[in-house]
Amino acid sequence: MSVRVRFAPSPTGALHIGGIRTALYNFLFAKKMGGTFILRIEDTDRGRHVSGAEAYITDSLEWLGLTPNESSTNPGAFGPYRQSERLDIYRTYADRLISSGRAYYAFDKPEQLDVLRKEAEGKGGAFLYGALNRDSLDNSLNITEDELHSRLETGETYTIRLKVMPDDIISFEDIVRGEVSFNSNDLDDKILIKADGFPTYHMANVIDDYSMQITHVIRGEEWLSSTAHHLLLYHALGLENSIPRFAHLPLILKPSGNGKLSKRDGQKFGFPVFPISWYEDGKESFEGFREAGFLPQALLNFLVLLGWHPEGDQEILTIDNMIAQFSLERIGKSGARFDYDKAKWFNHQYIVHSPTDALLPEVSAELSKHGIQLTQKQVVDLIELMKERCTVIGDFHQQCGYLFAPIQDFDEIMLNKKWTDHSEAMMTTVIELIDSILPFEASEIEAQIKSHMEMNAISPGNLFPLLRIALTGTTKGPDLFKTIAFLGKEESSSRINHLITIKTIANE
Ligand code: GLU
């Protein structure tokens, strides 16, 4: 049977990177197995539905290249792929459970249940709607057929609950966690259809996994305990032969390692926890990795290692490497600590090793954002000049201020240390030399300056620091000759001239 997996987010807000990691693992597993990766939107909780959240999910997956084989925008044979469009399907299965006695109508009002809940809590316990008390509650198990019909006919609000049998041990073999068991005495008669007619997560999730022929459920650890009810549902529906395999992924932990990473941690520590920015009321309320200047490949590489490791100690993994090496068996049980410095390290690696062309659109967009208009050739040169020094795309502007505007501040201490009585003459000859270099390219500039130094017995220690200070303001920076080429003949000469003027005035 061919592998079919699904990523099943609920559109209740921006999708946290934990969700993206789940999508990535599903995607990799599908690709590895030659299977199908499905995007299913679980939008049955109408109260928590947030407009724009579904588009956010789609946009995030698209940015990362995690394209589903089946989804509502690219339907296959198992649609619809949005649960709110599948209500009839859930209803049919709910009716089937009622007819077979595995589910029942419950008429209890929320206020009545609240009272019972408080009462139980008062005694230090928890209220469980189930085998021990269902006989004394307001449901179809305790009324006649006629009464049931008349209550349904009068339009009384009801829910449909799963009838959980007591003293049942439910076990399954989780691919990540090994054998997991639950005792049905700890489980309540879960609501399957809510008072608003919509199914609960449990009902819709199981019916869809079954009807979309899902073979492997790969999802976050927070859903592990729900699996007990899911298994009971498969059994109640007589679908025990169609139970998928489960793999529950470890948590992504806070940088401290204490507890689950939350969206508030991002705000608290100043790093993104969402793939792309999330806007509320037209304003950015959470910055995404994309907007923080990350490359999609780098983010995926960072995420894939939060909970999974390849066999060797290779850290840089292209998507094809990931697919080739991915296996569910290598997913770890313990939580993976979120380390933003590591994310930045990956991004730096990807910036340094990406072909310049691949960085062009992002870098051009970043520069235009700051009102800097360069030709395509200049952007290419800038990328080649600066990429070793850039961690995020924003650095192509931020770290490069001196390339775009005249130098305001010079490293005075260094300047005074290096400037001698001969410096003015030396710098003047360099201006003359620069004027004569053709073609004005880094390799030619380097060759000419070096031969000029040799002929005039100028040592690197005398010239280079001063040249750098003139051109960039400091003695640190990227390759000197590439910098001169980038700035161009005129700008380079004018900067050197400016330094000479400053020093001459200072010495008068
Ligand atoms: N709708 C659930 C979520 O938001 C899906 C959990 C599952 O994959 O079963 O994560």
Q: Averaged in consecutive runs of 10 residues, what is the pLDDT profile of the chain (508 residues)?
A: 96 95 98 98 94 96 98 97 98 98 97 96 96 97 97 98 97 98 98 97 98 98 97 98 98 94 90 95 90 97 97 95 97 96 98 97 96 94 96 96 89 91 96 96 97 96 96 93 96 96 80
User: Structure tokens of 221?
Assistant: 């650890």
Name residue 96's amino acid. Answer: R
Instruction: Report the Cα 278 to chain-centroid distance in Å.
Output: 12
Tell me if 328 sits within 8 A of 216, measured CB to CB.
yes
Ligand 1 atom closest to 12 (CA): 4
Best probe residue, ligand 1, of 21, 27, 205, 217 (max atoms within 8 Å of C-beta): 205
Tell me if 36 sits within 8 A of 70, measured CB to CB.
yes
Residues contacting 366, CB < 8 A, separation 6+: 293, 393, 394, 396, 397
pLDDT, position 354: 96
Tell me if 218 sits within 8 A of 210, measured CB to CB.
no
**Residue found by looking up tokens 């305790």 in the block:** 142
Interval between CA 217 and ligand 1 midpoint (Å): 10
- 263 flagged as catalytic: yes
Best probe residue, ligand 1, of 29, 40, 41, 42 (max atoms within 8 Å of C-beta): 42
Interval between CA 8 and ligand 1 midpoint (Å): 5
Tell me if 348 sits within 8 A of 326, measured CB to CB.
no
223 lines ligand 1 (CB under 6 A): yes
Interval between CA 218 and ligand 1 midpoint (Å): 10
pLDDT, position 283: 84
Name residue 82's amino acid. Answer: R
Alpha carbons 35 and 161: distance in angstroms, whole number = 35
Best probe residue, ligand 1, of 20, 54, 201, 227 (max atoms within 8 Å of C-beta): 201
8 lines ligand 1 (CB under 6 A): yes
Neighbouring CB atoms inside 10 A of 456's CB total 13
Alpha carbons 169 and 479: distance in angstroms, whole number = 69
φ and ψ at residue 478, rounded to 5 degrees: -75, 180
Interval between CA 39 and ligand 1 midpoint (Å): 11
44 lines ligand 1 (CB under 6 A): no
pLDDT, position 410: 86
246 lines ligand 1 (CB under 6 A): no
User: Structure tokens of 343?
Assistant: 């994310």
Task: Convert 447-466 into a string of H (helix), E (strand) and C (coil).
Answer: HHHHHHHHHCCCCHHHHHHH
Interval between CA 10 and ligand 1 midpoint (Å): 7
Name residue 295's amino acid. Answer: L
472 lines ligand 1 (CB under 6 A): no
Alpha carbons 313 and 329: distance in angstroms, whole number = 17
* Residue 127 three-state SS: coil
pTM over 0.75: yes
288 lines ligand 1 (CB under 6 A): no
Interval between CA 183 and ligand 1 midpoint (Å): 23
Q: Residue 183: which of 170, 174, 165 has the closest Cα?
A: 170
pLDDT, position 284: 81
**Facing residues of 180 across strands?**
172
Catalytic residue among 123, 190, 254, 263: 263
Name residue 448's amino acid. Answer: Q
Best probe residue, ligand 1, of 56, 223, 243 (max atoms within 8 Å of C-beta): 223
**Residue found by looking up tokens 């970043």 in the block:** 366
Tell me if 171 sits within 8 A of 180, measured CB to CB.
yes
φ and ψ at residue 374, rounded to 5 degrees: -120, 160
**Residue found by looking up tokens 């770890």 in the block:** 332
Tell me if 278 sits within 8 A of 248, measured CB to CB.
no
Alpha carbons 62 and 317: distance in angstroms, whole number = 19
pLDDT, position 234: 98
229 lines ligand 1 (CB under 6 A): no
Question: Buried (b) or exposed (e) across 309-346, using 16+ Cβ within 10 A?
Answer: ebeeeeeebebeebbebbebeebeeebbbbebeebbeb
Residue 369 Cα distances to 12, 365, 376, 394, angstroms = 31, 6, 16, 10
φ and ψ at residue 161, rounded to 5 degrees: -115, 150
Interval between CA 7 and ligand 1 midpoint (Å): 8
Pick the residue whose CA is nearest to atom 10 on ligand 1: 9
349: buried, middle or exposed (CB in 10 Å: 19+, 13-18, 0-12)?
middle
**Facing residues of 245 across strands?**
216
